[in-house]
Structure 1
Amino acid sequence: MNNSSFIRKIGIYFIGNFSSKMFSALLIPIYAFYVSSRDLGYFDYYQSIMLMLAPILVVAIWESILKFVLNEQTQKRKNHVIRTGVLFSLAMLTISYLLSMMFFLIFFNNYNSWFLLINMILLYTLGQIWLYSTRALQKNKIFAMGGIISTGANLLFILLFIIIFNFGLKGLLLSFFLGQLTLIIYLEKKTNILKLVFKNEKLDVLLLKRMLKYSAPLVLNLVSIWGLSSFGRFIIIYFLGAEMNGVYSFANKFSLIVNMLGTIVNMAFIEEALIANKDSDFRLKFENQVNNMMKIFMEFCLILIPAIVIFYKFLGNTDYNESLILVFPLIMYAILNIISTNVATVYQAKEQTNILLFTTVIGALVNVVFSIVFINILGIWSIILGQIIGSFTMLLTRTKIAKLKFSIDYNWKVFFLLIVIYFSISFICFNNGFWINILFGIGLLMYYLLKYKKNLYQLASMFRNGEDK
């Protein structure tokens, strides 16, 4: 695993994902003052449905596109893999779209929001296919620019449909739909993937079978991840109502900042692991990278805490001003989930996705059972504690199996120490005023800027050099 390549890829993906992933964080003030907790609750609920169905509809073929293209040596073979994956996806999505439209037209009189949901799922799934194909071809700057352009479009539509026209839930759905459409159009214009798809060639059935054999276990893994992260929305909607789901969703937006960083690192990490998994020193490098990332994620979250507390001081009498107490454990859940995802990269690199699936199912089951059993006793806290316990179970299982199979070990002492520091700082910031949090935040920021100045300088230098690969 090449450290310079790893850092360079993080830089490229940061540019693309800063816009798309941070977009949810940047929208927090708009949600706070222009979107009711009920509308936000239902939008979050629809997104949960989308994240569950997308990998099922196309058997998570995007994962196979990335792996198989990176393992091919010639451009012709790379194009062949992409063509096979995209053709399969288009066929599956066409069938699914027609069936779902018939279903809602027959059984629902008022189907406007459901119609937008169907299109949202379709465009999100296609967006994943085009994004993964772009990454597989290592057109990283195009990938990054696509994130920036689609986010700009999404923001424009949010301003138009939410603030100006006050469309509420339908405005949120329509904005997401159009943002994904913008992304696909841009990536297609730059990569010409459809030209590969509509070549006069037969579908390579044997290749498709190999790709589906690899991605099929990942479908169950992604659905299990959905069970770990999103199943709680269904419980909240059913037992506590859409308004409470909106409050939960708002508090959870801050964990998206952590997820943004984790997604960026994991995108680079999985590519490096897939390429370098046969290197003689793979185990040691992998172990060191995961241990380092554990510390970086935790330290990044320490900087976030005072900033979030300061933001809540400005919320006033909105639907969300009492949700601050939920933010701190939700960020901890995000940390556990991200570290667990990075640990699981070894199973994808070694093509042992069955272990990945097993550990995810275990974590999801723990979360679901705990949430259902305690919902009437603990209320919203049953969902949050269920997620934390489930994600920790998944992390613990993955690390134990990795140690047994690959002799990979992790620095648990430092990790648990950082957890204690995290909740201690959360307690201090929660119970202090505006200026104390500002001073505390500046102090933490300066400390970590000095600590990682060499890494930041290396990242900036690589991006200035204009490297794309």
Structure 2
Amino acid sequence: MAELLGNTVIFGLGSLAVKVVSLVLMPLYTSAMTASDYGAAELLNSGIEIVLPLLSLGVIEALYRFSIDETVEKGKLFCNSVLVLGCGILVAAVLSALAWKVFDYAHAVSFFFLFASASIYKATSQFARGLGHVRRFVGYGFINALVLVVCTYVLLVELHAGVAGYLWAYSIGYVAAGAIAFVCSAEYRFVVPLRFDGVLLRRMLIYSLPLVPNLLSWWIVSVSGRYVVVWGSGLTAAGLYTAATKMPSLINIISSVFQQAWQFSTAREIGAADSGPFFGRVLRGYSLVTLSMAGVVIVLNRPISGVLLQSEFQDAWRYVPLLMLAASFGVMSVFFGTFYQALMKSRMLMISTAIGAAVNLLLGVALVPVMGPWGACVAGVVAYAIVLLVRVRDIARRIDMPIDRVRIAYQLALLSVMAFCMSSEGRTWPVLFAGACLALLFVSDVGVLRESFLRGRRAFIRRPGGL
């Protein structure tokens, strides 16, 4: 447990910086850009999440997972990954050139450089992380964030570069941090001479290719609502909806910080004899922290939105509670999804996410024309809930791990009540009622944890040589 907490802090500092900065920059984005421009910029930025897995064949996931394995030769691993990513970047260049020449798409060049720079940064930073350069990994994250802040101010505030400036700010940050990672982690020593290994590449692709449909399906679950809103309600509505999705990123930040260390720990502990109780204890603490934080954000939604959402974006506050509820189901499902990667059993990971993606897309298409952005919110909640149910049932059959289903259902039910209350127009009773639900969520869980502590203390006292 101590190692997990330590890794959470270290990996968290490395990945937290850009995510926090992108949230802190929200007042700047919503004051320097129109809703339609911001919607277009975010659609292109989030589009990287679907294009990168497709063109890279998911090889970055394999690069990190295999770099942990001490039996794998790192030079061959890095060389294989660079070759696959290079081919992906080449394909992206051809497609972007066609979009620019044939369709006269103004942001094709900006999008290509965003894709290439994201590929470079993700590969170099994740390889450094797998090599054990955890402190340097933290530094690369901070460099990325610092460059992003400076470039965003210059390009959006000083030069008024709009959508292109938004994309270039991210690209420059990725390139700067990726180049420094390549040099400071001495990754260049794995490039020359080239040591291609076809057998290892086959193992990497066997692991990574099933993850590609999962990554794409997860993108549909988590991001496609923005595109459905564009289709059903227009670019301005999509801009408001996208701005509202930034608030739930608070819980996603906490979850992603933990998940990097959790992925590392599950890979090492999955075969241990006492891993089940350890996993159960982590689950209890994880749900307490993430769901309580989600409840706090839901209750404080309006004052937080008043700071982050400026000018024409202010009406986006009403979508935040349901989006936060969807994110709560999402972070719980991600927790259970990590076990599939530790087991190297990605088939059910892909199936569960694909089910959620299909539900989200079909419900979104059905509800958005009638309900507008509300339809995308509801579709997201239902989709994430289904993914969570499927994974809990399946993981319970694969791992001997205590899962308190009643407790998790109780917590999520309280969050659901809070979300629907805080989506209403009232200013007093929803806050009071949601605050009471938050207190019930936290107090009841603390009681459970206290009982666990007392049981452990009694066992210690009864132990030979105890107090």
- TM, length-normalised to structure 1: 0.87
Give the structure 2 partner of residue 106 of structure 1. Answer: 101
Give the structure 2 partner of residue 374 of structure 1. Answer: 367
Question: Equivalent of 1:310, from 299, 303, 307?
Answer: 303
Give the structure 2 partner of residue 337 of structure 1. Answer: 330
- TM, length-normalised to structure 2: 0.87
**Deviation per CA, 1:243-297, whole angstroms, max 9, x where unpaired?**
1111001111111111111111110001111122211122232233223212211
Is the contact made by 1:399 and 1:409 (CA closer than 8 Å) also made in structure 2?
no
Give the structure 2 partner of residue 462 of structure 1. Answer: none
**Deviation per CA, 1:207-249, whole angstroms, max 9, x where unpaired?**
0001001000001100010111122222111221111111001
Give the structure 2 partner of residue 362 of structure 1. Answer: 355
Is the contact made by 1:224 and 1:360 (CA closer than 8 Å) also made in structure 2?
yes
Give the structure 2 partner of residue 148 of structure 1. Answer: 142
Question: Equivalent of 1:54, from 52, 55, 69?
Answer: 52
1:28-427 mapped onto 2 (5 Å cutoff):
28-73=26-71, 77-93=73-89, 95-109=90-104, 111-199=105-193, 201-313=194-306, 318-425=311-418, 427=421
CA spacing shift, 1:428–1:234, aligned 2, 3 Å: closer
Is the contact made by 1:269 and 1:345 (CA closer than 8 Å) also made in structure 2?
yes
Is the contact made by 1:347 and 1:353 (CA closer than 8 Å) also made in structure 2?
yes
SS at structure 1 position matched to 2:271: coil
Question: Equivalent of 1:26, from 20, 24, 27?
Answer: 24
Is the contact made by 2:125 and 2:137 (CA closer than 8 Å) also made in structure 1?
yes
Shift of 1:317: 7.3
CA spacing shift, 1:367–1:429, aligned 2, 3 Å: closer
SS at structure 1 position matched to 2:210: helix
Partners of 1:357 and 1:181 in 2: CA distance:
31
Partners of 2:310 and 2:292 in 1: CA distance:
32
Is the contact made by 1:150 and 1:183 (CA closer than 8 Å) also made in structure 2?
yes
Structure 1 residue 10 corresponds to structure 2 residue 8 = yes
Partners of 1:312 and 1:223 in 2: CA distance:
30
Is the contact made by 2:319 and 2:423 (CA closer than 8 Å) also made in structure 1?
no
Partners of 1:305 and 1:228 in 2: CA distance:
21
Is the contact made by 1:270 and 1:349 (CA closer than 8 Å) also made in structure 2?
yes
Partners of 1:107 and 1:398 in 2: CA distance:
44
In structure 2, what residue type is equivalent to 1:237?
V
Give the alignment's Cα RMSD to 1 decimal. 2.5
Is the contact made by 2:30 and 2:310 (CA closer than 8 Å) also made in structure 1?
no
Shift of 1:153: 0.6
Is the contact made by 1:290 and 1:339 (CA closer than 8 Å) also made in structure 2?
no
Is the contact made by 1:48 and 1:233 (CA closer than 8 Å) also made in structure 2?
no
**Deviation per CA, 1:30-62, whole angstroms, max 9, x where unpaired?**
122222100111011112321101011111111
In structure 2, what residue type is equivalent to 1:366?
V
Partners of 2:309 and 2:345 in 1: CA distance:
50
SS at structure 2 position matched to 1:138: coil
Shift of 1:405: 2.7
Shift of 1:73: 4.3
Is the contact made by 2:140 and 2:181 (CA closer than 8 Å) also made in structure 1?
yes
Shift of 1:100: 2.0
Unaligned runs of 5+ in 1: 452-469
Is the contact made by 1:45 and 1:234 (CA closer than 8 Å) also made in structure 2?
yes
**Deviation per CA, 1:108-140, whole angstroms, max 9, x where unpaired?**
33x441110111112112221112101111111
Partners of 1:395 and 1:302 in 2: CA distance:
19
**Deviation per CA, 1:168-220, whole angstroms, max 9, x where unpaired?**
11111111111111111121121122331221x44100000010010000011
Unaligned runs of 5+ in 2: 447-467
Identity of aligned residues (%): 18
Shift of 1:88: 2.5
Is the contact made by 2:277 and 2:402 (CA closer than 8 Å) also made in structure 1?
no
**Deviation per CA, 1:89-113, whole angstroms, max 9, x where unpaired?**
22332x314422441343033x441
The structure whose RCO (Cα within 8 Å, separation 6+) is larger is 1
In structure 1, what residue type is equivalent to 2:103?
F
In structure 2, what residue type is equivalent to 1:305?
I
Partners of 2:341 and 2:39 in 1: CA distance:
34
Partners of 2:67 and 2:197 in 1: CA distance:
15
**Deviation per CA, 1:409-442, whole angstroms, max 9, x where unpaired?**
4222222332343355553697447xx89xx79x
In structure 2, what residue type is equivalent to 1:123?
S
In structure 1, what residue type is equivalent to 2:229?
I
Higher alpha-carbon deviation: 294-303 or 147-156: 294-303
SS at structure 2 position matched to 1:352: coil
